[in-house]
Amino acid sequence: MIILDTIEYSFADELVVGFSYDSAGKKISITFESYSKNNQHVDKKCNLTIDSWIEGESKIHGQEKYGELESNLGIPSLLLSVDQYESVIVITINTLDDRYVVLRFVGAHIKVYDV
């Protein structure tokens, strides 16, 4: 769950229909079919954008240590969870090649909007 402007968003097991990654611009954009807003299901396409991070890392779920962001990054098929812990955003995805990957961003800007 993340909270933006007092609105609570949650994303659990959402089918990913769009994905882009800009390594030079430090920007990841994930589009999916639906989401929850203030504990109400919203059946609309939505985009989650994370950018301008200070630090980005990734790991395979179950591994102890994070490595470079690109070392495990793949094309997501499912958005499993998005959590925010103060200035840290943690995203868990399932990739097209069936890996469970945890992405961790420190000091990032995050935006959520309907498509």
Provide the number of structural domains found in the chain.
Answer: 1
For residue 57, give its domain range: 2-114
89 secondary structure, DSSP code: E
CA gap 90, 29 in Å, rounded: 14
Note the pTM of the prediction, 2 decimals.
0.91
pLDDT tens for the chain, residues 1 to 115 = 677 766 788 888 899 999 999 999 999 999 999 989 888 989 999 999 999 999 999 999 999 999 999 999 999 999 999 999 989 999 999 999 999 999 999 999 999 989 8
C-alpha–C-alpha distance, residues 83 and 96, integer Å = 22
